[in-house]
Amino acid sequence: SPLLGVSHLQSTSMAKSLSAPPQPTPSEPKTVSAKHLATRPLHPVFAANYTLGDELGSGGFGFVVSATRNEDSLPVAVKFIWKTKVPSHGWVRDPTLGVIPLEAFVLRVVDHPCVVKFHELFDDEEFFYLVMEMHGTPWKAPEGDAPAAPLAIYAPDSSEPVLSASPSGSDSLSLPPPCSPTPSSSSPSSDGTTTSATTTASTNLKVPPRPAPMSRRTSRDLFECIEQHSRFPESRAAWVFAQIVEAVYYLDKLGIAHRDIKDENCVIDSEWNVKLIDFGSAVISDPRKPAPYFNRFFGTMTFASAEILNGQQYRAPHAEVWSLGVLLSILLSGECPFSDPSAAKRGRISSRVKGSWSPAALDLLGGCVQVDPERRATIEQVREHPWV
């Protein structure tokens, strides 16, 4: 019988109406880093020594997150590199660290004011954590869920030339032979993670609480700087360009080619100081020998040289100079020097790009984007050019 005049149907309906409202479904993480780091345990030494911040960039092979070193509040950038995505030719055996990605090896051995500094390297079962210097000034406010700039473009190819080891010396690097990752490259810890040779602190450290979900941070790269300023006056462009040239020249003397020179791979601060980043496409060869030929392109098509666009084999140092020419045009005019790939194949510079350039700047551009790579300016000639 109904209780106090309320039917069973009515009481059930009232109970439903008085129950707690349904909880909203948690939204999907808005950044790649949040998606992959929000719930997984981090390397214990890294987690104890660093506090993660916002995402700086992401791509198919990794993502970069800002962080702070806890002991001294030093801001750093941390690139999380998926082990399964490193191409077969992208591994080297470091004498100290074991098998590591080539880009980590390069940053560890180079030392130049215009190349971002290496700090530490950690790894676990899924990622390498490449801890690097944080450089640059935020140039643009984040725009909601705008897609992040890619870290690098890889085109794995088993037919890539083998990286040749070169004897140590002032003008060359001693490069361990390329190899595939092996379990012996790191030592397993009790919690299932792996500890690289750079992690010297005890793992019995107090791990700070996980920070709030990560968002997309303001970009610090040259691309956004140019977007903010449209184009640079020649004096400023020359200062910025000269720094990048110095970095490429230094690397070339060591036998290192970046292979993805572009505005998005340069970070710049408010004093116009530039540093080259993202060596995910880099290659090392013996600088005492002729540069090897490559048959796959590892960079960005806008910056690809004529021989690459024509489907020919290319030498990395020659292609680097072409990329510098494209970058020079973007610095001075805000535009690529070619209207389309067909024009780039022929080296036909767009008339609207030249504008009010000085004769010296035009001469430098012409030398950089010479279609015949054997007639193209060398990095030494670019460095010694009167405009630079």
DSSP SS3 for 327: helix
Burial 355-377 (b: 16+ CB within 10 A, else e): eebeeebbebbebbbbbebeebb
Distance, in Å, from the CA atom of 8 to the CA atom of 112, rounded to the nearest integer, reads 80
Phi and psi at 177, nearest 5°, equal -65, 150
The CA distances from residue 260 to 37, 166, 334, in Å, are 27, 23, 19
345 is in an annotated binding site: no
Give the residue among 253, 290, 96 at the shortest CA–CA distance from 170. 253
Question: Across-strand partners of 78?
Answer: 65, 131
DSSP SS3 for 381: helix
Marked catalytic residue, from 94, 260, 263, 278: 260
Instruction: Please say whether the beta carbons of 373 and 291 come within 8 A.
Output: no
Crossing angle of the two packed helices 234-253 and 316-333, in degrees rounded to 10: 170
Residue 179 per-residue DSSP state: -
Distance, in Å, from the CA atom of 221 to the CA atom of 135, rounded to the nearest integer, reads 9
Q: At 59, which helix (H) or strand (E)?
A: strand 50-59
Tokens of 172: 């060359």
111 flagged as catalytic? no
Query: Contacts from 46-53 at CB under 8 Å and sequence distance 24+?
Result: 46/122, 46/129, 46/131, 46/199, 47/207, 47/208, 48/201, 48/205, 48/206, 48/207, 48/208, 49/201, 49/205, 50/76, 50/78, 50/131, 51/208, 51/211, 52/78, 52/211, 52/214, 53/211, 53/214, 53/217
**Binding-site sequence positions:** 79
* Residues catalogued as catalytic: 260
- Binding residues for ATP are 79
